[in-house]
Amino acid sequence: MKLRAVLMALAAFLGMVDALFLSLQRNAGPIPCHITKGCNDVLTSRYSAVVGIPLSWFGLGFYVTVFSLAVFSIFETGQPAGNPLRWIFYLSGIGLMISALLVGIQAFTLRAFCEYCLLSAGLVLTIFLLSPHASPRKHSP
Amino acid sequence: MSKAVKPLSIILLAIVVAAAAAVYLSRQPNPVTETSAAPVLDNKGGGHFRGPEKAAITLVEFGDYQCPSCGAYHPVVKELMNRYPQQVRLEFHHYPLISIHPNAMAASLAVEAAGEQGKYWEMHDLIFEHQEEWSANPNPESQFLALASRIGLNANAFMQAVRSPQLQDRVLQDVVRAREAKIEAVPTFFIDGERIHVPLSINAFVDIIEARLHK
With an 8 Å Cβ cutoff, are B184 and A32 in contact? yes
Rounded to two decimals, the ipTM of the complex is 0.84
Which portions of chain A are predicted below pLDDT 70?
Answer: 27-30, 77-82, 134-141
Q: What is the pLDDT of residue B34?
A: 33
With an 8 Å Cβ cutoff, are A20 and B22 in contact? yes
Distance in angstroms (rounded) separating the CA atoms of residues B153 and B119: 8
Distance in angstroms (rounded) separating the CA atoms of residues A77 and A69: 10
Q: What is the pLDDT of residue A134?
A: 45
Q: What is the pLDDT of residue B166?
A: 94
The secondary structure element, H or E, covering residue A55 is helix A55-74
Distance in angstroms (rounded) separating the CA atoms of residues B93 and B155: 25
Residues of A in contact with B199 (CB under 8 A): 27-29
Q: What is the pLDDT of residue A60?
A: 96
Cβ distance A43 to A110 under 8 Å? no
Cis peptide bond upstream of B187, omega within 30 = yes
Cβ distance A20 to A27 under 8 Å? no
Touching B: A residues 3-62, CB under 8 Å: 9, 13, 16-17, 20-21, 23-25, 27-34, 37-41, 43-46
What is the pTM for the complete model shown? 0.70
A10, A14, A18, A21: best mutation site toward chain B, by most B Cβ within 10 Å?
A21
Which portions of chain B are predicted below pLDDT 70?
Answer: 1-2, 29-45
Chain segment A44-63, per-residue pLDDT in tens: 777 888 887 889 999 999 99
* Chain A: residue whose CA lies nearest to B21: A17
Q: What is the pLDDT of residue A29?
A: 61
Cβ distance A6 to A88 under 8 Å? no
Cβ distance A131 to A88 under 8 Å? yes
- Give the closest-approach CA distance of A21 to chain B in angstroms: 5
Q: What is the pLDDT of residue A40?
A: 78
Q: What is the pLDDT of residue B41?
A: 62
